[in-house]
Structure 1
Amino acid sequence: MTVWVQAGDDLILAVRLTPGAAKEMVGGVWTDEKGAQWLSARVRAVPEKGRANDALVALLGQYLGLPKGAISLESGDSNRLKRLRIRGGAQPRLISIIEQQVDVT
């Protein structure tokens, strides 16, 4: 299993977000009770008024070297488990960066 799936030219990235963290980071994988894998991410922002979601998009943009506008929330607005669409993300370079973050523990 992997934390991403290709959707045309885009990638759909599964992320488990921890808001209100002491340190912002992306890395590692979390597996749910059904065996689905989620990329782990932590942001300092609190989960109110979309602040944590915005911080997640900004953090992923930084890690992937993409503008925030290339990443959008597909589902999980008020949930820890989120799916994000990375427009034009089905590129070997971006997939490699994501896979490196999954291998970080």
Structure 2
Amino acid sequence: MEPWRISTTGLTIALRVTPRGGRDGIDGIEQLSDGRSVLKVRVRAIADDGEANRAVLVLLAKSLGVPKTGVSLLSGATSRLKQVAVAGDPARLSEALRKLASVKSTD
């Protein structure tokens, strides 16, 4: 199951974020113990004063080819589990996420 839902303006993505992860990157899709799917994301930034959240939004914007203003945090500001919204063409964004997740899942 994919960790994103299509909306009229783009996608909503469920994330599990690892701050201070050594590098900025997308590490594929993970199944949580409760059955939910999340996109695993790691960033170098520390989880202090919103730094990791900003790094996650920048990473997603760059990876998906959308402006930074097109990615926003919906929930989970102080949690590892987050929901973000990405504005844009849902079909193109879904395809880009599938490619990013599958390439990283095989590493």
For Structure 1 versus Structure 2, the TM-score category normalised by the shorter chain is over 0.9
* Equivalent residues of 2:66, 2:88 under 8 A apart: no
| TM-score normalised over the length of structure 2 | 0.91
C-alpha deviations, 1:54-103, integer Å up to 9, x for none? 0000001110111110000001100001110012241x222111011222
Query: Which aligned pairs between 1:66-105 and structure 2 lie closer than 5 A?
Result: 66-90=66-90, 92-103=91-102, 104-105=104-105
C-alpha deviations, 1:4-57, integer Å up to 9, x for none? 001222210111100001111113111111111101111000001100000000
Unpaired segments ≥5 residues, structure 1: none
Moved over 3 A (4+): none
Paired AA for residue 41 in structure 1: V
Say if 1:72 and 1:56 are closer, same or farther in 2 by CA, change over 3 A.
same
| TM-score normalised over the length of structure 1 | 0.92
Unpaired segments ≥5 residues, structure 2: none
